[in-house]
A and B are shown apart, each in its own frame.
Chain A
Amino acid sequence: MFTVFRYTLRRYRGQIIGWGVGLGLMGILLVSMFDSIGTQTEALNEYLSVFPEEFIAFFGDFSDFGSPEGFLGVEFFSYMPIIVGIFAVLIGSGLLVSDEENGTLDLILAYPVSRTALYSGRVLAFIVTSVLILGLTWVGLAIPMSWSSLKIDLDVLALPFVSLLAQILIFGAISLLCSMLLPSRAMASMAGGVFLVASFFITGLAKIDDTLETVAKISPLNYYQAREAFEGLNGTWIAGILGVAFVLIILAWWLFRQRDIRVGGEGGWRFSLPFLRRGA
């Protein structure tokens, strides 16, 4: 398992550097901007007050935009689930199936590596990659705090990242499960992406439309804490999200153990509708 983990992590080094450094640089830029924005808080609040509530619902509470937590909550953490969610969907959907589609899994699984070991090594590498990307992003936010007036204790600054990690894992797990159920990685990515975007909109709209509250309960982003995480994490939400992600990962593992490994290429549907059968 550790060989698979090591080599998978090495393969993801481009992802770690690309996503981690990119988001870290964005963090440096944002925190550096806080001082100039901070002097214009009143003007900004006045400007934001004319925004429709539908818009505000997606980007958090603008009322304390002038505080470090409020600023980061709105300018950074409010839309981070979508950004890291894209990463989670892409990696989760291709964690095993991309190798199957390009034909390399056929040879890897002919080696004395059990499917469980391969699966565990890949999932572990995905988790560690996510942690490293979020870690680099955290560093990106922390570095400019030495010269900026935006100051947050570094351990408190880590709290929204814990909530983000839980979101990465749930969307990664959903996409991984989709890749085991659907015929191709492309379809799994699409399904995971649709669920991510739908989750974002349903969660946002549920804040202004009570009728969507029930639907929003099945949306993972409903349990994401951006600005709120600075006040303390909701342990039940985190445990719930991680618990569901764990169940989905176990389900995907079970499906991976059962499936026939393709020589290469995309698969087909495992059932055929009677009315689609030739000659029927």
Chain B
Amino acid sequence: MAKGFTLWFTGLSGSGKSTLAERLRDTLLERGMKVEVLDGDIVRQNLSKGLGFSKEDRDTNIRRIGFVCHLLTRNDVVVIGAAISPYKAIRDENRKLIGRFVEVYCKCDIETLKGRDPKGLYEKALRGEIKNFTGVSDPYEAPENPEVIVDTASEDADASVNKILLTLEQLGYIPADDGRGYSEEEEEGIKERLRDLGYI
């Protein structure tokens, strides 16, 4: 049975993609899965080094990430992609290539993002120091039918992580944490054994 899939986070800068990607990575590693994260910021330092932020370069970057996700997914690895990936057409290309693809839209309003501005980029973009900044001077095409929407302006990270995990369980990509106790018969058997052993 295929175990690999791609969990693709898309959303504006500062919307929580990397944070949630790391949390999901740790949780799925704990559950014994092979997991890798392809984070846009890190990928741009190696795999996509030298690429800029023109549409053409952005498309190339996302296609490269998608290509690696595809290779890992077919080898039973859970891959978490976390990049702005602003263009719907390229995201859909990756979905078609990879197949086992779960899109998570990190939705967050621009005012909240400007307030957060974790890397100081919105401030620079608004001053015109950074050109082609998604959400300010470059477009972002929100997904129309993502598998999960997490509104990171209103949900805390725990709630978002749990929503994503539940969706993955419901879609059959990860086994559900059944949390089962003993059946009545099993419980009686165990109690009898514990009595025999003197524990109760």
A binds B: no
Q: Measuring CB to CB, which residues of chain A are less than 8 angstroms from any residue of chain B?
A: none
Q: Measuring CB to CB, which residues of chain B are less than 8 angstroms from any residue of chain A?
A: none
